[in-house]
Amino acid sequence: MKKYKNAVAFILNDKLVEVNFNDSRSHTPTTTVLNYLRNFPFHRGVKEGCAEGDCGACTVVIGQVNEENKIIYQAVDSCLMFLPMLHGKQLITVEHLARIEDNKIILHPVQQSLVDKYGSQCGYCTPGFVMSLFALYKNYNNPSKEIILDALTGNLCRCTGYQPIIEAAELACVNNGTDHFTDSEENITNILLQIKKSTKTLSLKTKKQTYYRPAKFKKAKLLRSLHPEAIITSGATDIALKVTKKHELLKEIIDISGIEDLKYYEERPNTINVGAGLSLEKLKTLSEKALPALHHMLTVFGSKQIRSLATLGGNIGSASPIGDTLPVLIAYNASVVIESIDNKRIVNINDFIKAYRKTDIHTDEIITGVIIPKPKEGTIVRSYKISKRKDLDISTVSACYALKLNNENIVQSIILAYGGVAATTKRALEAENFIIGKLWNQEIVEEASQIIFREFAPLSDARAGEEMRRIAARNLLVKFYSDSLTF
Amino acid sequence: MKDLQHDSAKLHVTGEAIYVNDIESNQQTLIGKILYSKHAHARIKKIDISQALLINKVHAIVTYKDIPGKNNMGPIVYDEPCLAEDEVNFIGQAIVLIAAENEYACIEAEKAIKIEYEQLEAILDIETAIKKNNLLAPPRKIERGNPDGVLSNCEYKIKDTLHIGGQEHWYLETQSCLCIPGENGEMQVYSSTQNPTETQILVADVLGLESKDVIVESKRLGGGFGGKETQGNHVACWAALLAQKTKRPVKIHLSRDDDQKITGKRHRFIINYEAGFNKEGQIEAIIFEQNSDAGAATDLSMAILERAMLHAENSYFIPNIKIIGKAWKTNLPSNTAFRGFGGPQGMAAMETIIDRIARQLKKDPLEIRYKNFYKISTNNITPYDQLIENNRLFILHDKLSESSDYWSRRKAIHEFNTKNKILKKGIALTPVKFGISFTTSFLNQAGALVLIYKDGTVLVNHGGTEMGQGLYTKILQIASAELGINPKNIKIAPTNTSKVPNTSPTAASSGTDLNGMAVKNAIDILKSRISEVVTVEFNKDFKYDLTKIENIEFENDMVFDNFHKDRSMTFKEVVSMAYLKQVSLSSTGFYKTPAVNFDREKGTGKPFHYFSYGMAVSEVLVDSLTGSHKIIRTDILHDCGDSLNTEIDKGQIIGGFIQGVGWCTTEELKYDKDGNLLNHSPDTYKIPSVQDIPDDLRVELLKDFPNENTIRKSKAIGEPPFMLCFSVWLAIKDAISSIGLHQIEPEFSLPATNETILLSIENLKNKY
Ligand SMILES: Cc1cc2nc3c(=O)[nH]c(=O)nc-3n(C[C@H](O)[C@H](O)[C@H](O)COP(=O)(O)OP(=O)(O)OC[C@H]3O[C@@H](n4cnc5c(N)ncnc54)[C@H](O)[C@@H]3O)c2cc1C
Ligand code: FES
Ligand code: FES
């Protein structure tokens, strides 16, 4: 079998496809999967509604072989995915769901249910919904309403009001995920494993761009030291916007999303260690018991399509003042593990974030993971997110609090971490100092919340005004107090 | 009539449905891009395109100087240049067009074009426009009785101002158009437009052609909602100019950001109101002053203002009333049609008055509503003198207040609010009465062209566009029922100006009413021709007991004599026979709505053919610390007459309602001090997601109340349900109000974002 070095190989529905960028006029390594597909006359089912991950019209399903050699199907936004990210995966598009039998089109159950329930009106959002429903179909049998809503949060529809689509989901997802993909799964798995086996590092070069996709972390570190100017991309849910919205030319890219060594989740006696490359969707599932505040934040983070691509390393790497995992990591007092080819350091998250979108990372370093100390017995950690729309929205204000009381109900330690109220994620230190050593009661909390009201000087922007942010930051502490009583 | 599934449903779910941007055009096709103004108001001193022309793969750069025809795309008033000449009036106004082989070349060219501006003072909100007296057109007025006099003597009074936000259409498919130049200067236009005829006229105008030279086709739109009634014309004009200049096909498909920045939106309004009432809550007089933000040009602003005025009293009889309407010119993109067309803005103020009366008199708002509803045989004349016939308010009220348990839930909510400090519940039942017809009366006409082929299959052309509302499906059902043949044998053709001329926009919820009737008319003509042939044929062998032409029926793919059922032929046989007998098997059809008229000067007339009614009850849960809310339950009862297709009508109700909920809650438009729209992408402009619909949503159609004088006794459904959203808006206010124990009037505006809610609560707590 051939070795893959300069070409991207993936299965498009049921056919092995190789894309070689040297001789391609229509695509570059940063061509999105959406644009790649729409270049074919017969793959225009996939639609662009926003080119920024917010509408889901571009949803496709990616099949990936997991540790047990089974294919896992995930819905993603193809507008945020660079073509090389498909390497070694199956790309499933809306055109491949129906079958033709005896010259008759047999719709896939999710398609038939949408038809039966009048789930499409103008139809522009429909292919995206079909693909989200397909991923749901493959992963759940008789899903609860909560699961259905979560699966559809990343798809906007302006016509139907969603109700018929929810009903279609209920109607369709009853066959334990069996369909014609089940029949071809073994075959597809073998091809995908073959591709994986025959790939080490892809280096894709065109006149204007170089795109590296290492399979091993060691190699990534080496590339990083050789190419200090290169942009690291993991899930690319931030980086892709540079291409789709700002039309920037990314000259050198190191894509670390193919590195399995960075996708770990380990429970140690005192810590939980999370790989920088672990997708937020997986992290959401895995953290439910051990890190409920993180889990909760991830339930209102982007959409399923976004979380399936986005990584923890990327969220930290962006160092955005409204990065949702940051207040949580601060409250858990986490540390970031950073490595270069000859060095490894562990930096507390508070020191890691330097300024607005600036981190303590050098041009030869890569974030490898995060170490989250397990909260001490009796510590209450809770996260909150306020956004204009409850789901798939960026925080107006976010917060995560960690509180430890002693037997006399006196505050032993408290962390009040906020997003959206300053240029970086920030602790309300004045309020923390005020509370420590005091009795945890309504009066103290009210007073502390007033300190918070004064402590921050947030901005007014497209999402909310400065006053709203202050009030929200203040109120969240009061809400936390009320919640802490029922713990 | 049997409900059919959406005629494109299978194409939608398989991804086969073709939208403008999916049309396979040849290798020669160029991409068009618009360079638009970066200033809200400025003089253009210089446009330098010389560097851009040198860029590889760029084929044309067009400025106003290159326009061979008229430099105008204003649909009614010629105040919108296609490309700016020496002045720009809003950020987003087109100045230069670029055609290139790909997007990158377009972007490079855009960067290379240099425009020198001299900035001028800009008016960016209604308040400033009022201060500067920058009226778009003379104010309008509708008045009845003696509002001023009565108001001054009323025992109870409310006087205040309501701020109502605009709304971005957010159709999933952004504006798009493909223009293919043909021989002899002709232009073939594939456009995502709700108004093919107007697109045709304006494209011909800018190109210096005549209507006969331009063909506009619109197969399906990826959503319209009014946003493609006039705004689709712009993209079409731009693409056509580039196609004419390059002699190659040109496609423009706006990026989401460009679409949101440069196209018009729902008008924001500031409404001043003054209401007088007695201690029982009976309203005696109201004065409304409606101020709308028209933006930089006229577009449809005056018609929208008119509809706002005609819906100012919603479902209530107000004996003394004055409605003044003023549209103000600002330096923002010209605002435009959007589902409801001013109706929602007009009604929002009325519903606010009701809500406030209830709070002031410590009564339930529903009681106040009921008391003031239009009555059946008295108090049934609108401020503009139209008699309200077939009033459905009472039946809807009685049924819905009972089926939703309004009164017992009201009690339960009160108890909940007494017990809970942080979470608060609210409930509201609100009515909609919506007038159906274009208020510009001559627009109430439609044409059709029905073709029967020799094999017995039928192609139906009509003037309406399919944008998801199910028009083609309803037309298919109508054609199938009228011809008595299986819908399988009928196809609805893409809407095309070369088949049906001079069509009205598919708007004002009138698509089915007008086009359905026109199609029926064409079919009636064909049926009478065929019946003649059939009658002759049936009577061939009889001397007496002859078949009478009026007894010929078309049903179940058969044509037969209803009195002699044995005399029958299949539709196919009949068609083939008619052909051989040299009978014409195609016909146009026409319809105009009878007896609608409106005198704008006097503010009186019968502008509407009939009214559509609906009511909704919503219950919400508000978190008083975060300002977030959740709709727990909504019950809707809506009047569609005899529904043509229950599921499609329900789809319109739910979809319209949720779109309205977005307008009332999370959809907010903010501008910076220079007039830049801050929410120009879905990142910051938030339409409802699947998580925002009511946990429990119950939708029913009012049964057994047929509508006379419309196609198959149905009623229009496109717009009215939008306004059911006030049930959510006022339920939120009710929840907020409970924090002040309903003693204090909360500050409130539209949309009720979490910010609005939180600030209102803060304010209330400070007062309390
Ligand atoms: C529609 C949409 C919704 C979103 N919703 C949310 C939300 O609710 N909350 C939120 O916080 N964010 C949200 N985001 C932002 C984004 O998804 C997150 O920040 C995400 O975690 C980024 O991860 P990624 O792997 O995709 O990062 P990338 O885009 O791959 O990278 C982001 C940045 O981190 C750097 N980086 C990535 N990995 C590493 C590494 N291992 N070492 C060093 N540097 C690295 C990159 O160089 C880049 O600067 C949203 C984005 C979109 C498009
Ligand atoms: S196009 Fe909107 S999410 Fe990709
Ligand atoms: S059906 Fe039109 S956007 Fe969903």
Residues B274-311 pLDDT 10s: 999 999 999 999 999 999 999 999 999 999 999 999 99
Q: Show pLDDT as tens, one digit a residue, over chain A (487 residues).
A: 578 899 999 999 999 999 998 877 788 999 999 999 999 989 999 999 999 999 999 999 999 999 999 999 999 999 999 999 999 999 999 999 999 999 999 999 999 999 999 999 999 999 999 999 999 999 999 999 999 999 999 999 999 999 999 999 999 999 999 999 999 999 999 999 999 999 999 999 999 999 999 999 999 999 999 999 999 999 999 999 999 999 999 999 999 999 999 999 999 999 999 999 999 999 999 999 999 999 999 999 999 999 999 999 999 999 999 999 999 999 999 999 999 999 999 999 999 999 999 999 999 999 999 999 999 999 999 999 999 999 999 999 999 999 999 999 999 999 999 999 999 999 999 999 999 999 999 999 999 999 999 999 999 999 999 999 999 999 999 999 999 998 6
C-alpha radius of gyration, chain A, whole number? 23
Taking the C-alpha atoms of residue B108 and residue B509, their distance in angstroms, rounded to an integer, is: 43
> Are B477 and B372 found together in one domain?
no
- Other Cβ atoms less than 10 A from the Cβ of A305: the count is 34
A417 touches chain B (CB under 8 A): no
> Are A251 and A397 found together in one domain?
no
User: B161-197, pLDDT tens digit by residue?
Assistant: 999 999 999 999 999 999 999 999 999 999 999 999 9
Ligand 2 close to Cβ of residue A79 (< 6 A): yes
Place of tokens 């220079």: B674
Ligand 2 close to Cβ of residue A128 (< 6 A): no
Q: Which helix (H) or strand (E) holds B295?
A: strand B283-295
Domain containing A478 equals 385-485
If you average pLDDT over residues B443-453, what whole number do you get?
96
Categorize the per-residue pLDDT at B541 as very low, low, confident or very high, splitting at 50, 70 and 90.
confident
B111 touches chain A (CB under 8 A): no
Residue A396 resides in a domain:
yes
Reading the block at residue B463, the tokens are 């003037």
CA of A156, nearest ligand number: 3
C-alpha radius of gyration, chain B, whole number? 28
Residue B18 resides in a domain:
yes
User: B504-540, pLDDT tens digit by residue?
Assistant: 999 888 889 999 999 999 999 999 999 999 999 999 9
> Are A55 and A139 found together in one domain?
no
Residue B350 resides in a domain:
yes
Cβ within 8 Å, pair A120-B8: yes
> Are B69 and B176 found together in one domain?
yes
Spatial CB neighbours of B402, under 8 Å, sequence gap ≥ 6 = none
Spatial CB neighbours of A410, under 8 Å, sequence gap ≥ 6 = A437, A438, A439, A440
Q: Which of B262, B283, B315 is the last residue of a domain?
A: B262
Q: Which of A350, A373, A396 is the last residue of a domain?
A: A373
Q: B174, B690, B693, B754: best mutation site toward chain A, by most A Cβ within 10 Å?
A: B690
**Rounded distance from Cα B200 to ligand 1 centre (Å):** 46
> Are B365 and B456 found together in one domain?
no
> Are B250 and B339 found together in one domain?
no
User: B29-83, pLDDT tens digit by residue?
Assistant: 999 999 999 999 999 999 999 999 999 999 999 999 999 999 999 999 999 999 9
Q: Which of A226, A255, A284 is the last residue of a domain?
A: A255
pTM attached to this predicted model: 0.97
Residue A403 resides in a domain:
yes
Cβ within 8 Å, pair A245-B8: no
CB B435 within 8 A of CB B650: no
Domain containing B490 equals 445-592
User: A80-98, pLDDT tens digit by residue?
Assistant: 999 999 999 999 999 999 9
User: B561-572, pLDDT tens digit by residue?
Assistant: 999 999 999 999
Query: Which of A234, A303, A324 to mutate for ligand 1's pocket (most ligand atoms within 8 Å of CB)?
Result: A234
If you average pLDDT over residues B129-152, what whole number do you get?
98
Chain B positions in Cβ-Cβ contact with residue A472 (cut-off 8 Å): 626-627, 758
> Are A362 and A282 found together in one domain?
yes
Cβ within 8 Å, pair B222-A123: yes
SS3 at position B519: helix
CB B722 within 8 A of CB B339: yes
B102 touches chain A (CB under 8 A): no
Query: Which of A59, A315, A390 to mutate for ligand 1's pocket (most ligand atoms within 8 Å of CB)?
Result: A315
> Are B490 and B576 found together in one domain?
yes
A243 touches chain B (CB under 8 A): no
> Are B180 and B40 found together in one domain?
yes
Residue B187 resides in a domain:
yes
Least confident of B67-71, B424-428, B540-544: B540-544
Domain count of the fold of chain A: 4
B 8-37 residues with CB < 8 A to A: 8-19, 21-22, 24
> Are A58 and A15 found together in one domain?
yes
Using alpha carbons, list the distances in angstroms from residue B218 to A124, B16, B154, B500.
15, 16, 55, 12
Query: Which of A223, A237, A329, A384 to mutate for ligand 1's pocket (most ligand atoms within 8 Å of CB)?
Result: A237
If you average pLDDT over residues B481-501, what whole number do you get?
97
Active site residues of B: 719
**What chain B residue is nearest to A460 in terms of C-alpha separation?**
B672
> Are B628 and B584 found together in one domain?
no
> Are A336 and A208 found together in one domain?
no
Polymer length in residues for chain B: 768
Taking the C-alpha atoms of residue A183 and residue A381, their distance in angstroms, rounded to an integer, is: 46
At A269 the pLDDT is 95
Taking the C-alpha atoms of residue B586 and residue B522, their distance in angstroms, rounded to an integer, is: 8
Residue A399 resides in a domain:
yes
Spatial CB neighbours of B500, under 8 Å, sequence gap ≥ 6 = B447, B448, B449, B461, B462, B463, B588
Using alpha carbons, list the distances in angstroms from residue A52 to A15, A59, A227, A245.
28, 12, 28, 7
At A1 the pLDDT is 58
Q: Which of B122, B128, B102 is nearest to B38 (CA)?
A: B122
Taking the C-alpha atoms of residue B492 and residue B511, their distance in angstroms, rounded to an integer, is: 14
HSE-up of residue B203 (Cα within 13 Å, Cβ side): 40
CATH number of the domain where residue A228 is located? 3.10.20.30
Q: Which of A134, A158, A178 is the last residue of a domain?
A: A178
> Are A240 and A302 found together in one domain?
no
Using alpha carbons, list the distances in angstroms from residue B26 to A45, B23, B180, B246.
19, 10, 10, 14
B387 touches chain A (CB under 8 A): no
Residue B161 resides in a domain:
no
Cβ within 8 Å, pair B256-A111: no
CB A54 within 8 A of CB A156: yes
Cβ within 8 Å, pair B684-A94: no
Q: Which of B262, B292, B325 is the last residue of a domain?
A: B262
Rounded to the nearest angstrom, the minimum Cα separation between A108 and chain B is 9
Residue A198 resides in a domain:
yes
HSE-up of residue B679 (Cα within 13 Å, Cβ side): 22
User: What letter does residue B470 receive in the DSSP assignment?
Assistant: -
**What chain B residue is nearest to A121 in terms of C-alpha separation?**
B468
At B768 the pLDDT is 73
Reading the block at residue B295, the tokens are 């933006």
- Rounded to the nearest 10 degrees, the angle between the axes of helix A163-172 and helix A145-152 is 120
> Are B346 and B481 found together in one domain?
no
Taking the C-alpha atoms of residue A78 and residue A205, their distance in angstroms, rounded to an integer, is: 22
> Are A311 and A423 found together in one domain?
no
Ligand 1 close to Cβ of residue A54 (< 6 A): yes
CA B399 vs. chain centroid, Å, equals: 28
> Are A196 and A53 found together in one domain?
yes
Residue B225 resides in a domain:
yes
Domain count of the fold of chain B: 3
> Are A249 and A329 found together in one domain?
no
User: What letter does residue B637 receive in the DSSP assignment?
Assistant: E
CATH number of the domain where residue A474 is located? 3.30.390.50
Taking the C-alpha atoms of residue A204 and residue B276, their distance in angstroms, rounded to an integer, is: 75
Which of B8, B658, B683 comes nearest A123 by C-beta? Answer: B8
Spatial CB neighbours of A239, under 8 Å, sequence gap ≥ 6 = A231, A233, A250, A253
Taking the C-alpha atoms of residue B81 and residue B77, their distance in angstroms, rounded to an integer, is: 11
Residue A418 resides in a domain:
yes
Cβ within 8 Å, pair A118-B10: no
CATH number of the domain where residue A359 is located? 3.30.465.10
> Are B62 and B101 found together in one domain?
yes
> Are A430 and A466 found together in one domain?
yes
Identity at A232, one-letter amino acid code: I
Residue B126 resides in a domain:
no
B 395-424 residues with CB < 8 A to A: 422
Chain A positions in Cβ-Cβ contact with residue B658 (cut-off 8 Å): 161-162
Taking the C-alpha atoms of residue B563 and residue B551, their distance in angstroms, rounded to an integer, is: 7
**What chain A residue is nearest to B698 in terms of C-alpha separation?**
A163
Taking the C-alpha atoms of residue B363 and residue A63, their distance in angstroms, rounded to an integer, is: 60
> Are A136 and A191 found together in one domain?
no
At A2 the pLDDT is 74
Q: Which of B200, B235, B262 is the last residue of a domain?
A: B262
Residue A103 resides in a domain:
no
Parallel, antiparallel or unpaired: strands B558-561 and B552-555: antiparallel
> Are B617 and B760 found together in one domain?
yes
Residue B164 resides in a domain:
no
* Helix, strand, coil share (%) of chain A residues, nearest 5: 35, 25, 40
Residue B384 has pLDDT above 70, yes or no: yes
Categorize the per-residue pLDDT at B767 as very low, low, confident or very high, splitting at 50, 70 and 90.
confident
> Are B387 and B463 found together in one domain?
no
At B326 the pLDDT is 98
ipTM reported for the complex surpasses 0.85: yes
CATH number of the domain where residue B27 is located? 3.90.1170.50
Taking the C-alpha atoms of residue B196 and residue B211, their distance in angstroms, rounded to an integer, is: 11
User: B617-663, pLDDT tens digit by residue?
Assistant: 999 999 999 999 999 999 999 999 999 999 999 999 999 999 999 99
Cβ within 8 Å, pair A464-B755: yes
Ligand 1 close to Cβ of residue A278 (< 6 A): no
At B508 the pLDDT is 84
Q: A24, A118, A166, A385: best mutation site toward chain B, by most B Cβ within 10 Å?
A: A118
Identity at B508, one-letter amino acid code: A
> Are A274 and A365 found together in one domain?
yes
> Are B250 and B279 found together in one domain?
no
At B2 the pLDDT is 77
B 456-515 residues with CB < 8 A to A: 467-470
Cβ within 8 Å, pair A44-B18: yes
Identity at B37, one-letter amino acid code: S
Residue B422 resides in a domain:
yes
Spatial CB neighbours of B120, under 8 Å, sequence gap ≥ 6 = B41, B42, B43, B87
CATH number of the domain where residue B318 is located? 3.30.365.10
